[in-house]
Amino acid sequence: MILIHNFNISDESNGVLDGNGLVKRITIPVLVIRGDSDMIVTQEMADETVRAISAKAQFQVVAGSGHAVFIDKPGDFMSMFEAFVGK
């Protein structure tokens, strides 16, 4: 079974698994989307992801959405996605 805490591409341990450092290999822009009611990925976790990816990351929060933004707010998700890939 793969659990979310078993996935760690950072340079640091997440308390369960040492990071493998692969985050350094990300060279393309990344869109990080989080629903403001997400009970799986906290704001702190999202902030940590954005910091790790650095200047390549664009962060968006979707109001009234949980973890599955593409299901909860498909129109908002598609607008953000289309604007991002259109760059």
Ordered by start, the domain boundaries in the chain are 17-85
* 21-47 pLDDT per residue, tens: 999 999 999 999 999 999 999 999 899
Query: Range with the lowest mean pLDDT among 3-7, 11-15, 50-54, 82-86?
Result: 3-7
Torsion angle of the four alpha carbons 42, 48, 50, 52, in this order, in degrees rounded to the nearest 10? -150
Q: Which CATH architecture has domain 17-85?
A: 3-Layer(aba) Sandwich (3.40)
Q: What's the full length of the chain, in residues?
A: 87
Q: What is the chain's Cα-based Rg? A: 14
- pLDDT surpasses 80 at 5: no
Say which amino acid occupies 5.
Answer: H
